[in-house]
Every structure is written in structure tokens, then in C-alpha cells.
Homo-oligomer: A and B are copies of this chain.
Amino acid sequence: MGVARIRETGFVADVVRTARWGRALAHPARVTILTLLAERQTCVCGEIVDDLPLAQSTVSQHLRVLREEGLITGEVDGTRSCYCIDAERVRAMMADLNRFGTTLERKAACGC
């Protein structure tokens, strides 16, 4: 169904990137998948489906979103697909989110 297609015109590039990370994490299924992949280090979708209260096709969709954001990579291995976290990309995401958070915290000193 295509990935998140936010209206990105008129926004600063930095901001759009942050919002994209937000989208990637915006569903419990995807957060769970990332956590599972990190824990197991090498994971096939079947096992992932077993850990989620969702249909196989739905899980596949969430995997697609994560793949499209580059957070995971999928490799065919026989009849299975081996999904792995892209640690590099996860670090990049966290770096971006932290940069955002730091900006907020550094400046926020509201006296309302």
C-alpha cells in the first residue's frame, strides 16, 4: 500500500526526517518487531508472526514499512526471509531523535 506519504512540502528537511522516524515507530507492531529482531539477532518472519497478535499479511506490511525506512533488511533464505536490524540505520535514527530532543531541552525554559 505504499509507505507513509506525509505532506512534506513547506517543511524543513530536518523536521521531515524526524517526522519519518516518528512514523516508523508509530505502531506497536513495528516497535515490537524491532525489539524482537534486536533480541534474536537473526530472525525469520514466521517467528515474528507468532509473537504478534496480527495476521501474517499484516505483519508483512509492517515489515515492509520498516524495510522502506531502512531500519531492517530482508534477505531470502530458502522459503524464509531473514530479517535483520540495520544497526547503522538505527543509530542514525537515534542520533536524529536525540538531536531533536536536545534542541527541545536546551531551549525549553518556558515561564508561562
A58, chain B: closest CB distance, angstroms? 10
Interface of A, helix, strand, loop or mixed by DSSP: helix
Q: Say yes or no: A15 contacts B35, CB within 8 Å.
A: yes
Q: Are B42 and A111 in contact (CB under 8 A)?
A: yes
> Which one of B8, B84, B112 lies within 8 Å of A84 (CB-CB)?
B112
Identical copies of this chain, number: 2
B34 touches A104 (CB 8 A): yes
Which residues in B have their C-beta under 8 angstroms from that of A35?
15, 100, 103-104
Residues of B within 8 A of A6 (CB): 26-28
Residues of B within 8 A of A101 (CB): 90, 93-94, 97-98
Q: How many chain-A residues does the 8 Å CB contact rule pick out? A: 57
- Given A82-B112, A85-B110, A104-B90, residue A28 in contact with residue B15 (CB < 8 A): yes
Query: What 14 additional pairs, Cβ within 8 angstroms, besides A41-B107, A87-B104, A90-B105?
Result: A11-B28, A11-B53, A15-B31, A15-B35, A19-B28, A22-B22, A23-B26, A25-B100, A41-B108, A41-B111, A75-B112, A85-B104, A91-B105, A94-B104
